[in-house]
A and B are shown apart, each in its own frame.
Chain A
Amino acid sequence: MAPKKNSAKRPQPSTPKPSAPARIVKVQSSDGHILQADVRALLLSSTLAATIKGYDDENKPLEKLEVNNVVGFTLKLVLEWCEKHKEDDPAIAQAEKDKKNIFIPSWDRHFLTKLPMGNLFDLITAAYHLDITGLINYGCKTVANSAKGKSTEEMRELFGIPEPWEQPSTSTATWDD
């Protein structure tokens, strides 16, 4: 018997659908960089989706969205990720939210692991502020994968902690330190 594909557990890759022409808006970072993005990509952020809905409900023209807590470099990464995932079903990310075994598709794995850890932390933090569940899931899983099996010294380097510290004198840490 041919092996069954366990497709239910894995997010399906983005499949292009016949769709309306892209609606492009400007997005401004906290340090004044102005980028452009497809509204469908921005809707992956619950925070930005609410703002966009507010404009649409009032029939106000949406020319520029301001993202006050994300700098330009990080915002560019956020928008690149959202552009790649703009066709995704948001229910997949929600379903993975509290799971331990998150499968990271190859494009995301490459995108996230090529980043220096500091940039990855900034990206996850931005995803948190903008409420982008899928990016939070994949980002956190990437950090966890990088940290697993590392020694204290390697973890210190990974998390950018400069100096060893003196543990409380009453403590003897744990057996697995």
Chain B
Amino acid sequence: MPVVVMENIIGLLDFRSVLTLRQVCRDFWNFIDDLKDSKLPDSKLKGLTLTVRKGRKLEFKIEYFDGSIDIIEYMENSRTYKEKITNLENSNFLDVAIQNDLKWILKFQRGSSDLFEIGMDLQAVYLRPEDEQLYQDVIEQLSNCMNRKIKTKKLQIWANKNSEFLSIIQIVDPKFVVELNFRPRFFAFETDEISKTEQWKMAKVFGF
């Protein structure tokens, strides 16, 4: 089938069907991977929350403007989505979450979302050292591996040090930022470096 026709069909699908189609055969896999973002359907992403939980678990909560929600949980060697557990075998689950799945979530994002949040669960005070380490690893991966800026109006971050705030704020597209919420854990929040960023300059509302 001509490329233009296939592009047309993909543009008329919903984003979940495009992800399924990508699994069908090598040709579709390569074709969809090579498509320009503008040819892909809009996932209508409303909010994305990354939460580290006890037991070295990472959860993605993805909300859409149509009211639907996807929750994906990652832990050592596995990913759980809608009760389906995928064995990640020898892959690092953090690589899968950030470098693969998050990349695809953002690939289907056309407009700005309302919220992007990185945090720990409400029982964060009980997180073990290995959970704290995972949180740091998440921050590090996000700041090092994101090949596109996240389009969101509101950014909310929990962090253990000022440098983590600085790392994360820079993965957000300053053109869309309206509100920044910083949640420092056990340290004094300083604005010296952060206030120099474009994201800070563009924001209208600040929360600490």
Residues on A lying within 8 angstroms of B by beta carbon are: 100, 102, 121, 124-125, 128-129, 136, 140-141, 143-144, 147-152, 155-156, 159, 161, 165, 167-168, 171-177
Are A167 and B91 within 8 A (Cβ)? Answer: no
In the bound complex, CA of A150 to CA of B8 (Å): 18
Known: A150-B17, A168-B29. 16 other contacts (CB 8 A): A100-B12, A100-B41, A102-B12, A125-B5, A129-B2, A144-B12, A147-B13, A148-B13, A149-B17, A165-B26, A171-B100, A174-B19, A174-B22, A174-B101, A175-B86, A177-B20
In the bound complex, CA of A155 to CA of B10 (Å): 13
- The yes or no answer to B206 lying at the interface (CB within 8 A) is no
Are B1 and A124 within 8 A (Cβ)? Answer: yes
**A124-B5, A140-B8 known; A175-B20 Cβ under 8 A:** no
In the bound complex, CA of A147 to CA of B13 (Å): 8
Q: Which of B2, B9, B60 contacts A143 (CB 8 A)?
A: B9
Could you pull out 9 A-B pairs where Cβ atoms are within 8 angstroms? A100-B12, A102-B12, A144-B9, A144-B17, A147-B13, A155-B20, A167-B23, A174-B101, A175-B60
Are A167 and B72 within 8 A (Cβ)? Answer: no
Residues facing A in B92-111 (CB within 8 A) are: 96, 100-101, 104
- The yes or no answer to B16 lying at the interface (CB within 8 A) is yes
Residues facing A in B74-89 (CB within 8 A) are: 79, 81, 86, 88
- The yes or no answer to B24 lying at the interface (CB within 8 A) is yes
Size bracket of the B interface? 35 or more
Are B13 and A174 within 8 A (Cβ)? Answer: no
**A100-B11, A167-B23 known; A172-B5 Cβ under 8 A:** no
Q: Which of A125, A129, A136, A152 contacts B20 (CB 8 A)?
A: A152
In the bound complex, CA of A152 to CA of B60 (Å): 23
Are A167 and B29 within 8 A (Cβ)? Answer: yes
- The yes or no answer to B188 lying at the interface (CB within 8 A) is no
- The yes or no answer to B25 lying at the interface (CB within 8 A) is yes
Are A172 and B96 within 8 A (Cβ)? Answer: yes
In the bound complex, CA of A172 to CA of B96 (Å): 7
In the bound complex, CA of A128 to CA of B9 (Å): 13
Residues on B lying within 8 angstroms of A by beta carbon are: 1-2, 4-5, 8-9, 11-14, 16-17, 19-26, 28-29, 41, 60, 70, 72, 79, 81, 86, 88, 91, 96, 100-101, 104
Which residues from chain A contact B1 at a C-beta distance below 8 Å? 121, 124-125
In the bound complex, CA of A95 to CA of B104 (Å): 31
Which residues from chain B contact A128 at a C-beta distance below 8 Å? 2, 4-5
Are B16 and A176 within 8 A (Cβ)? Answer: yes
Q: Which of A144, A151, A168, A172 contacts B88 (CB 8 A)?
A: A172
In the bound complex, CA of A175 to CA of B78 (Å): 11
Select the residue from A102, A147, A165, A176 with max chain B CB neighbours within 10 A: A176
Are B100 and A174 within 8 A (Cβ)? Answer: yes
Are B101 and A175 within 8 A (Cβ)? Answer: yes
Which residues from chain A contact B29 at a C-beta distance below 8 Å? 167-168
Which residues from chain B contact A173 at a C-beta distance below 8 Å? 22-23, 86
Are B72 and A175 within 8 A (Cβ)? Answer: yes
Residue of B nearest to A129 (CB): B2
Are A140 and B24 within 8 A (Cβ)? Answer: no
In the bound complex, CA of A130 to CA of B6 (Å): 16
